[in-house]
Amino acid sequence: MDAATIHDIAMRTVHFTKASIDQLSPPASGAVSFKDSKIQALYLRVSASGARTWNVLKWCRAHRRPLRMSLGPYPSLGVDQARRKATELIAAIDQGRDVVAEKEERFEYPTLGELSIAYSKRLKATQRRHSQYLHTLILLSFKDWLNRRVNAITQREICERHDDIAAKRGAIAASRAVKALRTLYNHAERDLGLILRNAARSVRVKESRPRGRYMSKDEESKLLTVLKAESQDVQDYIRLLMLTGARRDNVAGLRWADVNWREQLWRISPSVAKAGSAIEIPLMSEALEILSRRHEANEESGYCFPSRGRKGRLVEVWYLWQRLKARAILFDTGLDWRVDKPFEAMEHVPEGKRAGLRDLTIHDLRRTVGVRLVGAGASLPVIGAALGHRNLKTTQHVYALATREDVRAAMERAL
């Protein structure tokens, strides 16, 4: 024990309260420590400047010497809080734990929650869309791990959590959860410079395959038929999806400021484009007709599909798509698909006869546009530009989805 430490502990015992601490006078120079009357190893160190700091001074078997560890300043750390923290630290030392190493570890490595928030801030700073998406995944699947240090999470724990999620929410949800962890660990190593083993990297997950679903001619005809029972807003929204190949959120948030009427062009700005690059979509005659009509009615709102919600424009489209699919089932079974409540009417249709549009999704309408362009003989770069793909590998998948009719026509021309 050094001389300074001996000087500090040559002190009197004090029953610490707010009043007694406020009465302690600082020394003319250096620092002096006062011992707590309740917790033997707890001290309050008072410096000449008047600063007061809680410390624990106790013999440590792991280091074979007395350790003085700071708990925090007074009054930020009150008397009761200091005694509670001191009790926990003393118990850890008595158990033989290396509290110094643990403290350094806590200082160096963030918690999972801290790392997730830091990553979201990083995405926002680099102007990436959906900066909160990964943090939402972490909250959904690892909420009970938020206060754990990332270096303390083991591969076995991640594997077990993956299996639990797969059993409850499916293999794809489990795969996304583990991949979210992988991304965070990569961020810690690449952007924060932490030396950290990526415990999620080796956990095997179900690899998702590119979806190849698109709308057939018969399904398109059926969709256009049942669409007539919907409001004009829904009809216009679905038709614009089919005519532009744009993503559903981009169409829902279409702004008049982004439409160039003279050049008949819709420019999706980089701030809302998924790939972060501007997309220019030529507007065909039917799309222009829809937009012109809606512009005349909704010019003041600034949006093609205005709403009274917080964003001021259409946001939730899942429900209307499910309603259209319900109408398609009624259409197939010969029931009245024009009813106001198609979900209730669909309940009378047996499960085995619910064909309709089957598993068709809104995003499949976008893929259908790409497949139609393939059939029209468009090149890979042209299709990529039309769909706003930054990576041509994504476009290659669409390019490979040639219909049987396209293959037959090509063979007839060649053979």
What are the tens digits of pLDDT across the range 125-140?
876 767 788 999 999 9
Beta bridge partners of 255: 303
Under a CB-based contact definition with an 8 Å cutoff, are residues 331 and 356 in contact?
Answer: yes
- Kindly state the average pLDDT of the residues 60-76: 78
For the record, the structure tokens of 88 come out as 């926990």
> What percent of the chain clears pLDDT 90, i.e. is strictly above it?
40
Beta bridge partners of 33: 45
**Separation of alpha carbons 53 and 71, rounded Å:** 7
Most confident of 63-67, 165-169, 290-294: 290-294
Identify the band that residue 5 occupies on the pLDDT scale cut at 50, 70 and 90. very low
* CA-to-CA separations, 174 to 63, 138, 146, 203, in angstroms, rounded: 43, 11, 18, 11
Higher pLDDT, 61 or 28: 28
* pLDDT at residue 77, as a whole number: 85
pLDDT of 353 > 70? The answer is yes
* pLDDT at residue 229, as a whole number: 95
Residue-wise pLDDT for 84-118, tens only, equals 988 988 888 888 777 766 665 555 688 999 999 99
Comparing CA positions, the residue from 394, 392, 372 lying closest to residue 381 is 392
Domains of the chain: 3-108 (3.30.160.390), 112-190 (1.10.150), 217-399 (1.10.443.10)
Beta bridge partners of 68: 57
**Separation of alpha carbons 297 and 245, rounded Å:** 24
pTM of the entire structure? 0.61
Identify the band that residue 400 occupies on the pLDDT scale cut at 50, 70 and 90. confident
Residue-wise pLDDT for 191-233, tens only, equals 887 777 889 998 998 876 777 888 989 999 999 999 999 999 9
**Separation of alpha carbons 367 and 220, rounded Å:** 13
